[in-house]
Amino acid sequence: MSKLLEGKCALVLGVANRWSLAYAIADAFRREGACLILTYQGERQRDAVETVGQELAAAQVLPCDVASDGELAQLAEKLRESPGRVDAVVHSIAFANREDMSRPFVETSRAGFSLAQDISAYSLVAVARTVAPLMTEGGSITTLTYLGSTRVIPNYNVMGVAKASLEAVVRYLASDLGPKGIRVNGLSAGPVKTAAARAIPGFSSILDYVAQRAPLRRNTDPREVADAAVFLASPLSRGVTGNVLFVDSGFGIMGL
Q: What is the dihedral of CA 202, 205, 209, 212, to 10 degrees?
A: 160
Q: Which of 23, 122, 146, 209 is catalytic?
A: 146
* Spatial contact of 14 and 38, defined as CB atoms under 8 Å apart: no
Between CA 223 and CA 190 the distance in angstroms is 12
C-alpha distances (whole Å) from 242 to each of 57, 97, 140, 159, 249 are 31, 29, 11, 21, 22
Q: Please provide residue 221's backbone torsions phi and psi, each rounded to the nearest 5 degrees.
A: -95, 130
Q: Which of 23, 40, 156, 209 is catalytic?
A: 156
- Does the active-site annotation cover 146? yes
* Spatial contact of 154 and 198, defined as CB atoms under 8 Å apart: no
End-to-end CA distance of the chain: 45
> Phi-psi category of 200—alpha, beta or left, where left has phi over 0 and alpha has psi -120 to 50?
beta
- Does the active-site annotation cover 122? no
Please identify every residue annotated as catalytic.
Answer: 146, 156
